[in-house]
Amino acid sequence: MAEPSYNKLIAGYDGSDHAADGLALAELLSEVTGAELLVVAIVPHEFPYAPGTPEREQVLRSHAEDMLVDAVPESDRVHTGVVAARSAAQGLHDLAESEQADVVVVGSSHRGPVGRVLAGSVAERLLHGAPCPVAVAPAGYRERSDIGLRVVACAFDGSDEARLAVQHAEYVARRAGADLRLLAVHEPELIFGIDQIPGGYDRVELRRLERRGLMRELEAAAAAIGPGIEVRHDLLEGSAVEALAAAAGDGVDLVTVGSRAYGPVRRVLLGGVSSGLVRSSPAPVLVVPRGGD
């Protein structure tokens, strides 16, 4: 499996506060990885055309170009563009494919609480089919993005999807000079389905064995990280989403998580944990799609 390499990032921008949060995260990721950043405004593309539609689209495009000039200073690494599409999510999705983007960055819903990720309609639709990782910034992130990336965390459960997410977390952490924190969650109530444990089995012993096995996998994943980076691993207890969200609020600057195992290859597809985190994490969340063979 090829190691991650971020060469091009795409950020959606519409002039709103939550889009500014996403832009702040995109600029930070571009800075630490050296990736090219393309900041894009999406204008409606109506089809079939009604009278006056081409002129209306051109006016919107002109306004969007002016908005981008005011919000995003261009440089050798940062560029802007305007794309016409049936929806913002479709425009970002199609652009990510055509540009072979490595990450798409968006802001949270404007309805979300300040300091928490809450994916809006654009983020939700991207997270259910994007061809590359999707990063979602929490509300108000633009006001604290200057903190940078000091600690990058990754949710780990031993699956192939989690191992790929670890690779992305390590990649970003190394380039940011950040510490790496691997987080696994032991959920005792989910082991085998408590109501389905055959008679004669010791539930306490089963939970102990499951916890010990998960810890071994977590320790092995941490030990596999190469030198030159500070690695910490923690086995948490309780509900996975609640435990990971609480950990994300403890000095974590970015959380990576894998997609669910039965989604399309190389597409982001939210599972229970990833969808929960993009609704509750106080830190930005990077959702990584399934890898190829």
The neighbour count for residue 246, using CB atoms within 10 Å, is 15
pLDDT value at residue 71: 92
pLDDT value at residue 68: 95
pLDDT value at residue 291: 62
pLDDT value at residue 103: 96
pLDDT value at residue 257: 92
Q: How do the domains of the chain map onto residue ranges? A: 8-288
This prediction has a pTM of 0.86
Nearest one of 273, 169, 151, 265 to 221, comparing CA atoms? 169
pLDDT value at residue 49: 59
pLDDT value at residue 1: 54
Say which CATH class 8-288 falls into: alpha beta
pLDDT value at residue 36: 98
pLDDT value at residue 189: 59
Residues in the chain, pLDDT under 70: 1-2, 46-52, 109-121, 123, 188-202, 260-272, 291-293
Do 17 and 110 contact (CB within 8 A), yes or no?
Answer: yes
